[in-house]
Amino acid sequence: MKNHESNVVGPDVMLIALAASIPNAAVLGGFLNLSSSQIKDTNNWIDSIRASSPTRTRSSSSSSDNQDKINSWMLYHPSALNMFDQIAYNMKGKKIVTFLDYDGTLSPIVADPDKAFMTKKMRATLKDIARHFPTAIVTGRCRDKVYSFVKLAQLYYAGSHGMDIKGPTKSRTPNKGNDKALLCQPASKFLPMIEEVYKILLEKTKSVPGAKVENNKFCLSVHFRCVDEKCWAALAEQVRLVLNEYPKLKLTQGRKVLEIRPTIKWDKGKALEFLLESLGYDNSNDVFPIYIGDDRTDEDAFKVLRNRGQGIGILVSRVPKDTEASYTLKDPAEVEQFLRRLVQWKRSSTQ
């Protein structure tokens, strides 16, 4: 069908213009053959990655407008530190279980994911928390990798977005006197496929400066943090083209990262439910789970808690976001303060 208006740009011209606007467009490997819906998908991923960056400023809004939005958002998602007394009142007489994301929650977000270290203060507080409550770290990272950061054997570790769960050897399960270490790996059959895609992505993305592909065992992360923003679309499209050949894998986005995971119905919310069941709290009315996280993937866990009507979800963010969490904390420093107050409250309540 011909265009009858001289100012209407045809789809072929739009594609060529889009490709020409992207640095290193050659890495797209077939970009000009994409459908408009595929281009839209890529743009949606990039928009989501931009929106999830807490340091990104929006020039179209004045600082006062931004502050008004933050104040309005805080009415519905108040600071967990400011509301600690109310939270403590709701915890009274309950069995507390703590669930914590790692990057952006226990450690700051850093350019090199291999250097996302906790502070000594955070590690000491985390050790105290684990003395008083069953504690799990639920992360998109490889379980072994996050353990190498934390190095606390008394914790439960749920890596790969909960697809690789291992507990301490000495069980703290109240209803099961079992000293066998807990282990759950629902995506084991995907390991060869994940490894195969990892090798392909290493090769395909090496032409994009700053791109990093991380193997998290049961999932993969493609990091954008050190990539020039002008190259984000090219990198995202290269990842999408690879994933087209693997329909049993899905693509999601986080804070300057694309996540590749098996299509099984398993996420951080499922991991939370599994751990509560393993601890003997699946049908308990007196359990109070606390989940703290900063990423889109943590929303699955926040939603589980809201649906259960038990415990609280706490989002770590300086900027307003759509969330199922009830409370907020600004950064890992505030997370440490909240956890320390939790320990102090526990100690005072048992005296």
Which one from 12, 41, 85, 101 is the annotated catalytic residue?
101
Neighbouring residues of 265: CB distance < 8 A, sequence distance ≥ 6: none
Sign of the Cα torsion 242, 245, 247, 248 reads negative
Quote the CA–CA distance of 160 and 67 in Å, as a whole number.
35
Contact (CB, 8 A) for 160 and 140: yes
The sheet carrying 249-254 orders its strands as: 212-215, 220-223, 257-262, 249-254
Neighbouring residues of 304: CB distance < 8 A, sequence distance ≥ 6: 269, 272, 273
> 101 catalytic, yes or no?
yes
Contact (CB, 8 A) for 151 and 158: no
List beta partners, residue 259: 221, 252
Name the residue type at position 215: N
Active site residues: 101
